[in-house]
Amino acid sequence: MPSSRVQVRVPASTSNLGPGFDCLGLAVQLYNTTTITRIDGDARPDGMIGETATAFFQRIAEKPIAPFGFEARIEGDIPTSRGLGSSVTVRLGMLMGLAELAKESIPISRDQILDLLIELEGHPDNAVPSFLGGFAVSAHASDNPSDGFSYTRVAVKPELSCVTLIPDLKLSTEVARGLLPKEVPLRNAVENAQRTARIAAAFCTGDYESLRGMFIDHFHQPFRQVLIPGFASILGAAREAGALGSFLSGAGSTLMALTLSNEEAISNAMLETARKHNLPARVMVLKADNTGAEIVGATQG
> Hey, is 239 helix, strand or coil?
helix
Q: Among 146-150, 209-213, 263-267, which stretch is predicted with the lowest mean pLDDT?
A: 146-150
> Mean pLDDT across the stretch 142-170?
94
CATH of domain 3-155+289-300: 3.30.230.10
Question: 263-276 and 231-240 are packed helices; what angle lies between their axes, rounded to 10 degrees?
Answer: 150
Alpha helices in the chain (DSSP H): 47-59, 86-102, 110-121, 127-132, 173-178, 186-205, 221-224, 231-240, 263-276
Please tell me the CATH superfamily of domain 161-287, with its number.
GHMP kinase, C-terminal domain (3.30.70.890)
Banded model confidence at residue 174, pLDDT cuts 50, 70, 90 = confident
Residues 6+ apart with CB under 8 A from 119: 55, 59
Summary mean pLDDT of the chain: 94
Pick the residue with more confidence: 238 or 123?
Answer: 238
- Bridge partners, residue 31, by sequence: 11
Q: Which CA distances in Å does 71 have to 4, 50, 129, 280?
A: 11, 10, 27, 35
Q: What does pTM read for this prediction?
A: 0.92
Q: If you compute the radius of gyration of the chain from its CA atoms, what whole number of angstroms results?
A: 20
Closest CA to 52 of 90, 105, 13, 108: 90
- CATH 3.30.230.10 boundaries in the chain: 3-155+289-300
pLDDT at 42 over 80: no
Banded model confidence at residue 2, pLDDT cuts 50, 70, 90 = low
The confidence score (pLDDT) of residue 93 equals 97
Give the pLDDT confidence of 101-121 residue by residue, as tens digits.
998 888 999 999 999 999 999
pLDDT at 134 over 70: yes
- CATH 3.30.70.890 boundaries in the chain: 161-287
Give the pLDDT confidence of 62-98 residue by residue, as tens digits.
888 889 999 999 999 999 999 999 999 999 999 999 9
